[in-house]
């Protein structure tokens, strides 16, 4: 638990640079979204006003997502957040493609790639790397305290943690399992029938 607590404390220190990068990416895409999609979604009264408009179930209009637009900076941040957490992203993509052009998909896909695939993966890697580093440091401190030669030169990492309990099967055991596999037997019988 001390390693986990130390990882969380160090994570707060290391998040300053990461948060700066995230702010720059959000700011850039929000400004670009405002330039591209400003005033592209117009509010239309719903069918409870008596106008007789019926919206497709699950559409931008039926879900009343009118406030989720690129008309101002705060609203564009909300739309980018919704796309990043994949909250009804298809609704936004379809609405903006209908309002502007099919090329609107490109903006939202590039945003998703940057925010989820790159930035969130970097965030996860930052947490894991910080934990592994703490684990390795604690392992080397424990081994320095012992006078036994073998233990003092043993450096345990997260990758080596479960290595002792790993038992690899022999080639004979693998071949036996393959030959006894029900699905593989059916597949080889099926191949033999067609030839």
Confidence band, pLDDT 50/70/90 cuts, at residue 107: very high
CB 65 within 8 A of CB 99: no
pLDDT tens digits for range 55-104: 777 777 777 778 888 999 999 999 999 889 888 888 888 888 888 888 99
Mean pLDDT of 117-123: 88
In 3D space, the residue among 108, 126, 149, 111 whose CA is nearest the CA of residue 17 turns out to be 126
Q: Does residue 150 carry a pLDDT above 80?
A: no
Mean pLDDT of 170-195: 79
pLDDT tens digits for range 2-14: 777 777 777 777 7
Measured CA to CA, the distance from residue 68 to residue 76 in angstroms comes to 7
The alpha carbon of residue 124 and the mean position of all alpha carbons in its chain are separated, in whole angstroms, by: 9
Query: What six digits make up the tokens of 54?
Result: 């019926």
Measured CA to CA, the distance from residue 145 to residue 156 in angstroms comes to 14
């Amino acid at each position: 638990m001390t390693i986990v607590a130390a990882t969380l404390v160090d994570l707060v220190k290391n998040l300053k640079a990461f948060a700066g990068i995230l702010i720059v990416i959000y700011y850039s895409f929000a400004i670009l979204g405002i330039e591209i999609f400003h005033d592209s979604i117009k509010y239309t009264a719903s069918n409870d006003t008596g106008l007789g408009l019926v919206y497709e179930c699950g559409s931008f209009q039926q879900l009343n997502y009118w406030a989720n637009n690129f008309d101002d900076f705060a609203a564009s941040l909300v739309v980018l957040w919704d796309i990043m957490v994949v909250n009804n992203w298809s609704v936004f993509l379809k609405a903006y493609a209908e309002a502007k052009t099919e090329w609107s998909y490109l903006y939202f896909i590039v945003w998703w790639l940057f925010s989820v695939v790159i930035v969130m993966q970097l965030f996860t890697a930052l947490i894991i790397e910080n934990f592994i580093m703490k684990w390795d440091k604690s392992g080397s401190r424990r081994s320095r305290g012992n006078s036994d030669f073998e233990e003092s030169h043993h450096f345990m990492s997260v990758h080596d943690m479960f290595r002792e309990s790993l038992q690899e099967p022999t080639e004979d055991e693998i071949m036996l399992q393959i030959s006894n596999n029900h699905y593989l037997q059916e597949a080889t019988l099926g191949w033999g029938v067609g030839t």
